[in-house]
Amino acid sequence: MEKYFKVMIDGYTGYANYFFNEILNPGWHNYFYWLLAASLLIYLAEIAFPWRKNQALIRDHFWLDIFYLFWNYFLFSLLVYNALSMVAVQAFKDFLGIFGINNLVAIQVGNLPGWVQLLIIFVLRDFMQWNIHRMYHHVDWMWEFHKVHHSTKEMGFAALLRYHWMENILYRTLEYIPLAMIGFGISDFFIVHIFTLVAGQLGHANLNIPLGKFKYLFNGPQMHLWHHAKHLPQSHPNGFNYGITLSIWDFIFRTNYWPSNDENLAVGLPDEERFPEDFIGQNLEPFRRIFDKNKPNSPTS
Ligand SMILES: [Zn+2]
Ligand SMILES: [Zn+2]
């Protein structure tokens, strides 16, 4: 246990140095400035070519979502990647060690050309994310955390990163293990991180992006708007369109639902009107609900 703790502390202290370095040294390989630039450009596109023309430029909870943007993408997501994923990998290595397996790398892809490696990382990670996202909609306690993301009542680029910090922990840890098994480290997929950030922000943006036949491959704002639909059809009571960057998994596994392109579709939590509207409240609410449900003699609604 002490060993895991040390691995985690090393990860966090490394991250603190890295964090200040990022802000002080703008450059091409810099998450902070990419996040800033991508957000600004997509916001400008929303202002110039809005899909819902009557949506306010500073929509409800805009600044809360901007805070989530930096909290989740820059402060928390990468931090968890740095610290917890190391612990997960260490624990996984030790687990394999019990069976006399000393090498975590199951398939060595290091000899393949760089772009092929990146493509493998991207597709594998996206498939893992599709699975994890689907679980968030089907497993009761996971849905309580995922409700934060679905509590947005108007879509815009910044809604992408409105989610509970527990999602970082589960996504980052679970998606990291298969990647580690094929021999990658965090520094290897900067481009994939940035590409998925831009694609994700576009997917939530107030933009009409006609993808043509590519809609079967890539998720877009029209398809993802339905993912956030307030009223779910009886055929898909838990949700649908779980794709993060790629939509292909939904078409393969029949979890797609996209009956129309109505930009004014009502979005929000399907089963309730009221959800905390502030950062602290939203972060505490899932714990409160899970605790209440598990309390003996409590109603299970
Ligand atoms: Zn969802
Ligand atoms: Zn979403």
DSSP bridge partners of 218: 246
Dist. CA 159 → ligand 1 center (Å) = 12
Dist. CA 145 → ligand 2 center (Å) = 13
In a domain, 299, yes or no: no
Asked if residue 181 lies in contact with residue 85, where contact means CB atoms within 8 angstroms, the answer is no
Dist. CA 42 → ligand 2 center (Å) = 16
In a domain, 28, yes or no: yes
Q: What's the confidence (pLDDT) of residue 301?
A: 44
Helix, strand, coil shares of the chain, percent, nearest 5, are 60, 0, 35
In a domain, 19, yes or no: yes
Q: What's the confidence (pLDDT) of residue 186?
A: 43
Asked if residue 118 lies in contact with residue 51, where contact means CB atoms within 8 angstroms, the answer is no
In a domain, 113, yes or no: yes
Q: What's the confidence (pLDDT) of residue 268?
A: 94
Q: Which residues contact 90 (CB under 8 A, 6 or more apart)?
A: 3, 4, 7
Q: What's the confidence (pLDDT) of residue 230?
A: 94
What are the distances in angstroms from CA 27 to CA 21, 31, 37, 73, 157? 11, 9, 12, 18, 23
Q: What is the total count of domains within the chain?
A: 1
Q: Which residues contact 238 (CB under 8 A, 6 or more apart)?
A: 137, 138, 232
215-245 pLDDT, tens per residue?
Answer: 999 999 999 999 999 999 999 999 999 999 9
What are the distances in angstroms from CA 76 to CA 72, 73, 114, 215, 225? 5, 6, 28, 31, 26
Q: What's the confidence (pLDDT) of residue 117?
A: 81
Q: What's the confidence (pLDDT) of residue 278?
A: 92
Nearest to 151 by CA among 165, 135, 161, 162: 162
Looking at residue 126, its amino acid is: D
Dist. CA 174 → ligand 1 center (Å) = 17
Dist. CA 244 → ligand 1 center (Å) = 9
In a domain, 62, yes or no: yes
- Over the chain (301 residues), the average pLDDT of each successive run of 10 is 66 66 77 90 96 92 91 72 63 69 62 81 91 96 96 94 90 76 62 92 96 96 96 93 97 96 92 85 93 69 44
Dist. CA 296 → ligand 2 center (Å) = 34
In a domain, 301, yes or no: no
In a domain, 158, yes or no: yes
Dist. CA 167 → ligand 2 center (Å) = 13
In a domain, 184, yes or no: yes
Dist. CA 120 → ligand 1 center (Å) = 24
3-state secondary structure of 218: strand
Beta-carbon count within 10 A of 7 CB: 17
**CA–CA gap between residue 255 and residue 68 (Å, rounded):** 28
Q: What backbone phi and psi angles, to 5 degrees, belong to 238?
A: -100, -15
> Which domain range does residue 181 map to?
2-294
Q: What's the confidence (pLDDT) of residue 300?
A: 47
Dist. CA 168 → ligand 2 center (Å) = 14
Asked if residue 161 lies in contact with residue 66, where contact means CB atoms within 8 angstroms, the answer is no
155-195 pLDDT, tens per residue?
Answer: 999 999 999 999 988 887 787 777 777 766 445 578 888 99
Dist. CA 266 → ligand 2 center (Å) = 14
Dist. CA 135 → ligand 1 center (Å) = 9
Ligand nearest to the CA of 239: 1
